[in-house]
Amino acid sequence: MLGFEMILMYYPFIKNAERSQKYAHGGVVLTTLLSLLLYFVSIVFYSQKQLTLTLWPTLTLTSIIELPLIQRFEYITVSWWTIIIIPIWSFLYGLPAGGQALIQCPAKVSLMGNVHNHTTCEYTFYDIDSLYILNKIINPYIVCFIVIYLPLLFVFISIKNRGTGYEKV
């Protein structure tokens, strides 16, 4: 997920949604832009061969920075990544509610299924080679998923709400 579709999962948990909508959208935009900025900085700094050989390009990039008061700048860099990790965990937090709303699955069952899937993936793809293979398999389909996901979601919700007489989507 790139980030812009995350608002679909966050929105039900936002209190006073109409008043705080701009802050919710701002948070999603900030996280997406920060991820893209880090991506572009890493691509500009490293050659293609270096990117294939470097395991953590952004973290390696920050090891170049030298400050007299801080011996290891990587500690600060790792703490910056919480800005990107927290929205991912927020998305996982919202998955049970999404499963409950879309397929009338109890939240507990949806949560257990997501935890099972996450744990299975974690133990299946444990080294860099298996992650590289998974990345090569999934990458061609990500753009199709993102382009098709939102229109399909709109169509499914429209069809579902047509029978209930609920006009607001």
Residue-wise pLDDT tens digits, 67-93: 777 666 667 777 777 766 776 676 677
Would residue 14 count as lying in a domain? no
Q: How many structural domains is the chain composed of?
A: 1
Could you list the residue range(s) of the whole structural domain that residue 131 is in?
125-169
- Reference 42, options 58, 63, 65, 59; nearest CA is 58
- Give the pLDDT score at 169: 47
Residue 43 has a pLDDT of 83
Position 147 in a domain? yes
- 74 located within any domain: no
* pLDDT at position 166 over 60: no
Question: Is 24 part of any domain?
Answer: no
Q: Residue 58 domain-assigned?
A: no
| Closest alpha carbon to 101 in 23, 12, 7, 3 | 12
Counting every residue written for the chain, the total comes to: 169
151 falls within a domain: yes
pLDDT digits (tens, 9 = 90+) for 102-142: 777 787 888 888 888 878 877 887 777 887 888 788 878 87
pTM assigned to the model: 0.50
Q: How far, in Å, CA of 16 to CA of 121, rounded?
A: 36
Chain Cα centroid distance, residue 135: 15
Flag whether 89 is in a domain: no
Whole-number Cα distances in Å, 84 to 29, 38, 102, 149: 12, 11, 26, 22
